Structures are given as structure tokens and as C-alpha cells.
Structure 1
């Protein structure tokens, strides 16, 4: 039977500090569940300004920093969930998102929400398959 391992990281790992009571990732066997990352700069703890494209790019950097702790990349993503506060940003978000993957795209759900923590425009969480 697989064991669950819980992982919390900090700015020294390139991951923003927690804004609530959660782990950055939970591993169960060869599956990794990555908590939604915000467009927060880990060095300052501040929200990245400039709209959906720079915020989406910062979320990418934050997700990559978590995945690096497991020697994984976004191409190992099985499922992506994106949350947007403005669906008027959908096309700009998609243009940035498409650049994230070298291989086939994972499954994805995109949800419109009325608000996100720290005033963000976007948040993304992942389910990732890790090499055995």
C-alpha cells in the first residue's frame, strides 16, 4: 500500500509562502497533488502586477518550483485546474498556457470564480504522474 507524504516549501525553494493552512504538495505513490499556486513572487511575497499574462507566467514559475522538488516537469501533468476571475481573460490566458508544454496537453478544467486569495486573477493546481 502506498504511503502519503506531505510537503511544504518556502521561498528558499522558489515557492511562495503559504497564505492558508495547506501543504504545497501531497504525494501518494507515483501521483503528486499540487496545491493551487498563486501569481505571488516568492522573493517578496507580493502579487505580480500587470494582468493575466504576467500573473499566469508567475504561476508557471511557482508550479515549476514545486515540481522541481520532485524532479518533475509540467509535461508529467495529468490534470490541470485553472481558476480565472475574469473570463474576458480566457484567450490571453490560453495563449500563455499553451507555451507551458512540450508534449501533449493534459486534461484541464477552467473555472470562473468571483475572487481568489491575495487578489489574484488566476490560480492553477495540478495532478502529476511521477516516474516510478
Structure 2
């Protein structure tokens, strides 16, 4: 668990490491400083908040987005939000250094979120 990380919405660890591979639990668009505050409006704002939360978790174990090898993205409004997510996604990574990715449409997510993202990260 990362002390400054987002409050868990279920019983889990923020991240687990095995043999240099780090598996980061899916993060929600909650504010670590105000976990009961309303979620940001829209897929872009929620995605940015999720990425910020993932950065907090990664930073807590000495890693960053540049170490991400795989991302799984879950969207509750796939058809509506997929294109906007795709337009925003490359801005989080160095040019030409996108991780592998799977995006999945789901019926619902915890806390009423529009998006959740989990990561597989390789420690250098």
C-alpha cells in the first residue's frame, strides 16, 4: 500500500511486485486528498485523474509511466468515450513509447466511475 495513494474501494494492495514485474490494481478517478468528493465530469477529466492516481502509486515504489508495459482500460460508456480516450491516451507517454493496451467495455465500475485503468509495469 502507498500511504499517499488513493483510498481503496475494495480489499486490495495498490501494487504487488514479483520478480521485477509490478501489477498495479485498477485505479478510480477519486481524489486521494478528498476521497468522498464527487468524481470529475466526463471521460477526459476522469482519465486524467486515474492517470494521476496511477502516478502516485508508481511513484510510491520508485517507478513512473515510462516503465508501463501493459495497460487495461475499462469503460462503462465504450461507444461514447472510446474515441475521446484514444485522443487523450498518447499524451501520457513519451512519443513512440506507448504501452500495449486492451480496452474493455463494462456495465459498471466501482464508485460510479466512467473509467478504471490497471497496469503491468517492469522494473528496470
Q: Normalising by structure 1, report the TM-score.
A: 0.87
Match of 1:34 in 2: 24
What is the rounded CA distance, in whole Å, between the counterparts of 2:67 and 2:76 in structure 1?
26
Unaligned regions of 5+ residues in structure 1, if any? 1-7
2:37 is the alignment partner of 1:44:
no
Q: 1:73 offset after TM fit, Å?
A: 1.1
Match of 2:56 in 1: 65
Contact 1:48 1:58 (C-alpha < 8 Å) held by counterparts: no
Cα 1:25–1:33, aligned 2, differ >3 Å: closer, same or farther? same
2:107 is the alignment partner of 1:114:
yes
What is the rounded CA distance, in whole Å, between the counterparts of 1:47 and 1:90 in structure 2?
22
Match of 2:117 in 1: 124
Deviation digits for residues 66-103 of structure 1, max 9, x if unmatched? 00012211111111000000111001111221101015
Match of 2:89 in 1: 97
CA RMSD in angstroms, aligned pairs only: 1.1
Q: 1:49 offset after TM fit, Å?
A: 2.2
What is the rounded CA distance, in whole Å, between the counterparts of 2:47 and 2:93 in structure 1?
14
Contact 1:9 1:17 (C-alpha < 8 Å) held by counterparts: no
> 17-26 vs 96-105, which deviates more?
96-105
What is the rounded CA distance, in whole Å, between the counterparts of 1:127 and 1:31 in structure 2?
7
The answer to which structure, 1 or 2, has the higher relative contact order (CA under 8 A, 6+ apart) is 2
